[in-house]
Structure 1
Amino acid sequence: MKWLHLSDLHLIYKNYDTDVMRVGFFDYLKHHFEGKVDCLFITGDITHQGQEFTDDVYEFLNNIVIALDIDKEKIYMIPGNHDITRTNLMGNVIKGILSENDCRKAINEIDADSFDVLYKGQQGYRALYEKFLEREYPKDDLHFVIKTEDYNIIHINTCLIAGGDNVEGRILVGLQKLLNTMSEISKEKDKVTFALGHHTVNCLNDAERTSFLNRLSDSEVDFYLCGHVHQSNIHQESNNYKTVHMFTAGANVVDGYSDTIFIEGNLDINNGNVEVVYHTWNQPQEFWHISNSLDRRLVQGSYSFELEKIKKKRIQKKM
């Protein structure tokens, strides 16, 4: 099973270096991955600073589909904070929630009118989702699960309050809604499970962070894929019942700050061996290549480990 993980496309953002990189990006995808990718994950910030999802955005996304030769039913994506249309009313609702002594309780018990104010900011993203992926967006669910025969994908919408000021490190996902969503896979924990979220765990509010990690562990999530920070990262959350492997992709921009990086994952479903490869853009020389310098664990060009879930199955079969 091979997947690619892209994040923070910021497609309205343009400059010369980014334009050159994106031309090379499509050539690189086609040359190395055409017809070989089983899943494509996009973890938010498709547009930039709440701007419209223009025809150029759809063209870019469809060019990815063409380069990979992938069915759209194998593409899974979530919104980012830049995919939100902000309003003053939204900002006031968010400010009120974060000012509560127990903000975790406040977001769990949010009234319908306040929720609608926040959720309406993602209306443009939901329209993009349906037009591009050609399937209905589950509008009644903040978070939702897509189940397949071989794996589950939990879509965690981390952007409900992301349209406010000074929310960095204070993100609330709404743990009650997340718990309800994860209950849908309570009898399918033996499947490989991905969770997608735009924000890293460190971006979450202190009031939710520990319980959020518990939800991932208790639902036996194998991979948490995210973005937002524009800096790539590898992390194993092992201080729990179940290890969760966390991967942060970079951004699809060249701006002097961002890691211009996407991630490739490979899973051998028979023995549980996983290999993760980071692909990066060399801006001075203008070419894409495999990176072995972002993390000491990538020194050989990939980060490898064994998935506990499949290892356990294999041992049980031998007994």
Structure 2
Amino acid sequence: MNSIILHISDLHVSLDKKIGGEINQHDSYLDTSQDEELSILFIDKFIATIKRDFNDTKIYLLITGDTTDRGEIKEFEYAYKFLNRIITELDIDTENILLIPGDHDINRRSIENLLEKKEDSSLEEINISKFKNFSDFYFKLLNKKFDPNKIIFETLLVEGAILLLGVNSCTKLNLTQKLGNVPISNFEEELKLIPKVDSYKKIICFHHNLTSSYDNKNNGQWDSKNRQSLLNKLLNIGIEFIFTGNEHTNSCKKVFSGDITTSDSGCLGSKKHDSAFKVYNVLINDDIVLTNKIYSLHNTKGNDSEYEWDIRTNSIFHQPEKFILFEKAPPKLDNEIIEIPSAEINEVFHEADEIKKDVIKEDINVYYSEVFTDGLYYKVKKLNLFHSGHFHWSETSRAHNWIDTSKLIENKKNLSFTKNAIIDVIEKKKLVNKIDLIIGLGYEGNIISTKATIKFNKPYAFLPYSYRNDEHHKYEKELNYSNENNDFRNVLIITDVVNDGRTIRKLIKNRHESFFKNVNKVYVISLFYTGESILNHNILNFDFVKTIPDYNIKNDEDVNNIEFYTVKSLKVEKCPYGDDFRETCLIVKDKLGCVNLFYDESKSSK
């Protein structure tokens, strides 16, 4: 049977009259009027839409908060009528429902009454009081108890593959605090109680929005410090998707440098705002995918009873057609040597398949991962990233071949792969506690290093390549950190490609000498090493490169505190001509290469 996750939020079932009898000018199609016809009509049209488009479909119902407007008993009584009608008509098993509390489901009058009696009431006591009406409603609807002091209060397993974690983002709310907050220590402890099944793809579900579309606020409706800690924790445990409500705007946004996706269903019951909901078709085979179908309410004749639900065009609202929770890994590479230029180290690794790679790694101190080293090579082949030819970019950057790393990172999945590869090198080589600062070198290095600096909570800076230094604005060339007090003793530089390390040594000794003179160790991690040397951790040091036959040490820098690791070695043949290449190399002389001007010549040519 087909299955869907039906995601609704912010019904805001409202009092038709305020306490005392005054008419309540509310914004919801759903209220507590004795004449229920308009509210029931709204619910029935919603039900008819689901029946029309998802007949004979198993439904998992997700409600991300603000079922009521003020958390009053009467509002919950009517909310029960409306939701029970949906559950019955759509034949939804109550075991397949995840109901999240929102800030409007809190009864703040209860807090006032409690504090009037006991001014020093604990947070636990306040939570029991403010959630009393919601807890009663929760039990009546789902026949389950709601614990107002738990963070992960419920889970819902979808088709044995997707685990929705119901999280209460309202436990710290009181009469003054209104922003979402998840106490990290409590969250960590409760997470340990969740069954550890590696095949489950976890999605966090809570009410408050972490980012805003309508309000255009980066922090959404969330405590900013707690937001940073929570996102970092989710990233560490591999949770990349969040379902929310609260903002009353149907949206889908990326947070945390694009590593985490948030999906807000929109406000189901709003007359003035974006009345919408979402349906995620659950597709499980080798991959685990959720389609992203958006429904919005269209008023056809300008009154409260004439409206229809229509499917919204995703692209117009900048939303993806689907969310990929899991993608089957590409086939593993076999042990044959592929017929494109490769450094000697590649042959060493292929021979190591027949002995023990761990011995090779330990002896020469290099990085190797079947997932990332072989996987990166697979992507080079699949995407045709290795280009043959004769190319010139600068005095020292002249080669017969090159690797198009920019094409590699333009795809989200490949970009995520490269970021994770960098993180794996850091962890495998146990650098986390050694580094004080991370520098992304070059545009590509800047992009692939972001996840590492967030995950490991390290200070970060971006710098351009040394040979392109003059092309950048003066603010881009500033390191923006002072090292006068020796705060940064060990620095990690992350970049996409390293050949002989000349540009990195120039960066250290020439471009930012005042900073690096107080640095003890410079770690360098690249996606690719394109030089000739057999891979080892010391091959970027000046004492090593000056021993290479025919290596031109002119304009190089004497730097010997570099420890180097790369994900994959792919040798790139250098231009064979010497210092007189401008006259002797036909590619340059007759301007036959893909790049005719060197970077250091571009200013003078204008």
TM-score norm. by structure 2 comes to 0.44
**Aligned match for 2:189, one of 164, 180, 185:** 180
User: Matched residues in 2 for 1:37 and 1:121: separation?
Assistant: 34
Write the deviation string for residues 65-124 of structure 1: whole angstroms up to 9, x where unpaired: 12321111000011111111114856998xxxxxxxxxxxxxxxxx98232223420121
**Aligned match for 1:198, one of 207, 213, 216:** 207
Percent of aligned positions with the same letter in both sequences?
23
Greater alpha carbon shift after TM alignment, 52-61 vs 123-132: 52-61
Q: Does structure 1 residue 274 correspond to structure 2 residue 276? A: no
Q: Does structure 1 residue 239 correspond to structure 2 residue 239? A: no
Q: Name the SS of the counterpart of 1:131 in structure 2.
A: helix
Greater alpha carbon shift after TM alignment, 171-180 vs 130-139: 130-139
1:282 CA displacement: 0.2
**Aligned match for 2:165, one of 138, 148, 154:** 154
Alignment partner, residue 8 of structure 2: 6
Task: Note the aligned Cα RMSD (angstroms).
Answer: 3.1
1:11 CA displacement: 1.8
1:30 CA displacement: 2.5
Alignment partner, residue 80 of structure 1: 102
Alignment partner, residue 279 of structure 2: 264
1:279 CA displacement: 0.5
Alignment partner, residue 37 of structure 1: 58
1:51 CA displacement: 1.6
The structure with higher relative contact order (CA 8 Å, sep 6+) is: 1
Write the deviation string for residues 212-240 of structure 1: whole angstroms up to 9, x where unpaired: 11222223224311111111110133537
**Compared with structure 1, are the counterparts of its residues 213 and 154 closer, same or farther at alpha carbon in structure 2 (3 Å cutoff)?**
same
Q: Give the 5 Å matches for 1:162-177.
A: 162-165=173-176, 167-168=177-178, 170-177=179-186
Aligned partners of 2:96 and 2:156 also within 8 Å: no
Write the deviation string for residues 290-314 of structure 1: whole angstroms up to 9, x where unpaired: 011684435xxx622432xx21x44
Q: Provide structure 2 residue ranges, at least 5 long, that are not aligned to the other structure.
A: 17-25, 30-37, 211-219, 302-306, 335-606
User: Matched residues in 2 for 1:63 and 1:131: separation?
Assistant: 14
Alignment partner, residue 529 of structure 2: none
Amino acid at match of 2:186: K
User: Matched residues in 2 for 1:5 and 1:305: separation?
Assistant: 14
Aligned partners of 1:29 and 1:67 also within 8 Å: no
Aligned partners of 2:208 and 2:221 also within 8 Å: yes
Amino acid at match of 2:83: L
**Compared with structure 1, are the counterparts of its residues 273 and 134 closer, same or farther at alpha carbon in structure 2 (3 Å cutoff)?**
same
Amino acid at match of 1:265: Y
User: Matched residues in 1 for 2:248 and 2:203: separation?
Assistant: 21
Question: Number of residues paired by the alignment?
Answer: 291
Greater alpha carbon shift after TM alignment, 137-146 vs 203-212: 137-146
**Compared with structure 1, are the counterparts of its residues 138 and 17 closer, same or farther at alpha carbon in structure 2 (3 Å cutoff)?**
closer
Amino acid at match of 2:170: C
**Aligned match for 1:288, one of 309, 325, 328:** 309
**Aligned match for 2:72, one of 31, 44, 51:** 51
Aligned partners of 2:11 and 2:28 also within 8 Å: no
1:209 CA displacement: 0.8
User: Matched residues in 1 for 2:28 and 2:221: separation?
Assistant: 29
**Compared with structure 1, are the counterparts of its residues 314 and 69 closer, same or farther at alpha carbon in structure 2 (3 Å cutoff)?**
farther
User: Matched residues in 2 for 1:121 and 1:232: separation?
Assistant: 28
**Compared with structure 1, are the counterparts of its residues 192 and 11 closer, same or farther at alpha carbon in structure 2 (3 Å cutoff)?**
same
Q: Give the 5 Å matches for 1:192-231.
A: 192-201=201-210, 202-231=220-249
Q: Provide structure 1 residue ranges, at least 5 long, that are not aligned to the other structure.
A: 94-110
Aligned partners of 2:72 and 2:133 also within 8 Å: no
1:261 CA displacement: 0.4
